Amino acid sequence: MSARAPSPEAIAWRRETASLGMWIFLATEVMFFGVLFLAYFHWRVHDPDGWAAASRLTHEWLGTLNTALLLTSSLTMALAVRAGWLGRRRAVPPLLWTTAALGLAFIGVKAVEYTLEWRDGLVPALHFTYSGENARAVQEFFYLYFAMTGVHALHLAIGVGLVAWAAVRLREPPTELSRRDTVECLGLYWHFVDAIWIVLYPLIYLVGLAR
Amino acid sequence: MSAVRDAVPGSYLTEGFTLRSWLTTRDHKRIAILYAVAITFFFFLGGAAAALIRLELATPAGDLVSADTYNKLFTIHGVVMVWFFLIPSIPSTLGNFLVPLMIGSREVAFPRLNLLSWYIYVLGGAFTVATLIAGGVDTGWTFYTPFSTLFSNTHVVAAAAGVFIVGFSSILTGLNFIVTVHRMRAPGMTWFRLPLMVWALYATSLILVLATPVLAMTLTLMALERVLHVGIFDPALGGDPLLFQHLFWFYSHPAVYIMVLPAMGVVSEIITCFARKKVFGYKFMAYAILGIAAFGFLVWGHHMFVSGQSMYAGMVFSMLSFMVAVPSAIKVFNWTATLYKGSIVFTAPMLYALGFIGLFTIGGMTGLYLATLAVDVHLTDTYFVVAHFHYIMVGGTVMAYLGGIHYWWPKITGRMYPEAWGRVAALAIFFGFNLTFFPQYLLGYLGMPRRYHEYSPDLQLLNVLSSGGASILAVGYLLPLVYLGWSIFKGAPATANPWHAKGLEWTVPSPPPKENFAVPPAVDEAPYGYDPEEVVR
Amino acid sequence: MNSPPRLRVYVCTWLALMALLAGTFTLAHFRIGGLNTALGLAIAAVKVLLVGLFFMHLKRASALVAIFAGAALVWIAILFGLSGTDYATRHPSPAPWTAPDGH
């Protein structure tokens, strides 16, 4: 199976095969996150008022800013994939670095949010001092909030690492004839992480805003 | 390793004799063997737990072990047997070895991921063994809340971690098979020319990929709740213990189809070869396989009929559970029709396959009793359930696994096993199995609850029969360990196709060369081109 | 399929996503009862669709890939739907020691 100079058909075959593998992996991730969404909806249907009260305690401006950052990072990631596709190798690393930077910015904003929530005593099990009317719902809400955004942030951090690694690897001329599959698969992963956040955003930040 | 050196030169076994060549291999055939060694260890570990359970239950009093120790025994038996033996057994050993060969490919789609999946399996196994050594876990393999989150004093998190880790081994294996079957079939190998083993492993892989992540997250949430004392399963916090059960069984019911579908694939291959007749209703068999995989996701609530779940949900799940039996029944009818007017040879693999058909049918039909809401109220959590699932898992899957090991042994090792001993072991296992588990149907009917280390004295006779059967079963399982091991060194060298079987794996030497096919095969005929009139001896 | 979509496609998708973000944020402040949730989720679904079709190239992908993408959503729907048969029809009877709010 040594391919010293793989044909264009072989390259295309390999890219489509890698892409199929990545899509199946993303399907597993949907099922993985889906459990948290079920837990969320179970609670929300059970105590809608408590849930809305809890959601009002989140920082929706930071959440909206984060969504904008992540959506933009998806654009730069998609443009990186496109540049690779067009053979514009020199354009790919800067676009990847921008994507990673936007991802890091998201994580930074998240860290700020988590700090604010710690300050406000809204971290269940570790530092939870809320004692208002809906205390139980607030505790459950924030338990799921930290679980869902935490797992998401972990996936994003892994994505940032992989994107940075790809950006470094792509500085030298590729030893294989095409690194397009790597960037394309990374792109799929990155957009998926973005898609999870797109669904998380209204569920976390926008529930009780209409008074 | 003179046994290996004596093997046909230039086979996958002779490509490097060092341990390192095995531990860094990307050859799907070597990875299959790595898995086989590992799961055999876990089979006997789980079996040891079972032996202690049956020893305890030979007498009505709880006199061998304490109640707490007994809880740990059935928990480790379940955890090890389900996740470290049954689920990886056929897919990761026979599947890994055979899928590329059966589709005419040189490799799987992602060979390095394949090796990684084995290391992940070993890591998960290490966690489980460590848990055992540190004192075990007593929640049952089902980890139900609130006992697991609030009250158990054993190593729940460590055990859950082991299962979480090994789940990723499953996911990678499934992902690999799906992509391999879609992308790497030889020219002319259309979907409806695939052996049913490949269909079965493909459907199994779909389940592996869609169900296992749910288990991973569910166990994580359970462990978090245990550690943090906040969570979503505790009623005192407003949570719901049934949420855990819904999430757990959403995976664990399809998991039983992960365990049985590959077995059905093996049985199809064996039956057709030793009846010398093509499978009856090939397309129905393939569709039934897909139907079982899909429908298996819709029935999980039948594990929760008495849990407090709504009665209406119970009715829905009961009806769906009846429907899922239909594709399985179609397969049993078609195997029977395949046998009809075939030229049957009772080799060891055939004995296992025939045993499968009978025992799976019994197990499946008793599943219908359990799917009946009103009856399940009385039978649930009794030995009736234990008997039901052992008929399918052991009478079904384990027998098919052993049948497959024997059937493909010449191909994998290049040696023939001693046929007489093979038949003796198969019969001992069949007899021992029925003596062990049939009395358990009666015990359950009479009301003996499961997961108790003591029972009412009037049930002792049936328990003694069951424990006696278990000792015969143990001998039956040890026999292949001995004679298969012996055959690696002293067995007669095998030809490429000792069974005169159809299928691409039989067109390459035994054992196969590393690249499988010297020339990529081209396929132009339907599978199972057997002729019962043809005399082959 | 040797050339990627035009730059315009990506930029327009991004603009649409940002517009939808602004829209969903604004709408959330208006009191429209059950529509708040429904619209919020609908807008999120559209955003996911845009990301999937244009950024992830689902629009040009093979049927096989589209089936796997769809299958995951169908399977999550099974999880939600069949658990829902329990949660929609279960009427909890709180124990005497449970707090008055019924949980």
Question: What number is the ipTM of this complex?
Answer: 0.94
Neighboring chain A residues of C73 at a CB cutoff of 8 Å: 30
The predicted structure's pLDDT at residue B272: 96
* C-alpha to C-alpha distance for A88 and C72, rounded to whole angstroms: 34
Which A residues in the span 45-74 are in contact with C, Cβ-Cβ below 8 Å?
45-47, 60, 64, 67-68, 71-72, 74
The predicted structure's pLDDT at residue B311: 92
Contact call for B301 and C86, based on CB within 8 A: yes
B179, A17 contact by CB (below 8 A)? yes
Neighboring chain A residues of B171 at a CB cutoff of 8 Å: 28
Q: Which helix (H) or strand (E) holds B79?
A: helix B67-79
Q: How many residues does chain A have?
A: 211
Q: Where are the domains of chain C?
A: 1-60, 61-91
For residue A16, the chain B residue with the least C-alpha distance is B183
* C-alpha to C-alpha distance for A138 and B367, rounded to whole angstroms: 43
Close Cβ partners of B463 (under 8 Å, ≥ 6 residues apart): B57, B58, B60, B439, B443, B455
Q: Give the model confidence (pLDDT) of B230-271 as tens digits.
A: 989 998 888 899 999 999 999 999 999 999 999 999 999 999
CA C68, C71, C76: angle at the middle one, nearest 5?
Answer: 135
In chain A the domains, ranked by start, together with CATH numbers, are: 8-205 (1.20.120.80)
Q: Among A161-170, A196-205, B101-110, B485-494, which is the least confidently predicted range?
A: A161-170
Q: Give the model confidence (pLDDT) of B303-335 as tens digits.
A: 999 999 999 999 999 999 999 999 999 999 999
Across the interface, which of A64, A74, A82 has its CB nearest the CB of C21? A64
CB pairs under 8 A between A and C: 126
B277, B343 contact by CB (below 8 A)? yes
CATH topology of domain B2-507: Cytochrome C Oxidase; Chain A (1.20.210)
**Quick one: how far is CA B421 from the chain centroid?**
23
SS3 category, B134: coil
* pLDDT higher than 80, residue C102: no
Close Cβ partners of B208 (under 8 Å, ≥ 6 residues apart): B91, B170, B171, B173, B174, B258
Structure tokens at A163: 């994107």
The predicted structure's pLDDT at residue B376: 97
Contact call for B214 and C79, based on CB within 8 A: yes
Neighboring chain A residues of C55 at a CB cutoff of 8 Å: 74-75, 77-78, 187, 191, 194
CA B92, C66, B215: angle at the middle one, nearest 5?
Answer: 45
Neighboring chain A residues of B224 at a CB cutoff of 8 Å: 147
- Residues of chain B short of pLDDT 50, as ranges, are none
Best interface-test mutation with A: which of C37, C56, C60, C76 has the largest number of A CBs within 10 A? C56
Q: What is the dihedral of CA B44, B47, B51, B57, to 10 degrees?
A: 170
Across the interface, which of B235, B297, B311 has its CB nearest the CB of C78? B297
A172, A91 contact by CB (below 8 A)? no
Query: Model pTM?
Result: 0.95
Percent of the residues in chain C that have a pLDDT greater than 90, as a whole number: 68
* C-alpha to C-alpha distance for B440 and C5, rounded to whole angstroms: 65
CA B55, B87, B129: angle at the middle one, nearest 5?
Answer: 55
* pLDDT higher than 60, residue C101: no
The predicted structure's pLDDT at residue A177: 45
Contact call for B210 and C72, based on CB within 8 A: yes
**B interface toward A at CB cutoff 8 Å?**
106-107, 109-110, 171, 175, 178-179, 182-183, 209-214, 216-218, 221, 224, 228-232, 237-240, 243, 247, 515
Percent of the residues in chain B that have a pLDDT greater than 70, as a whole number: 98
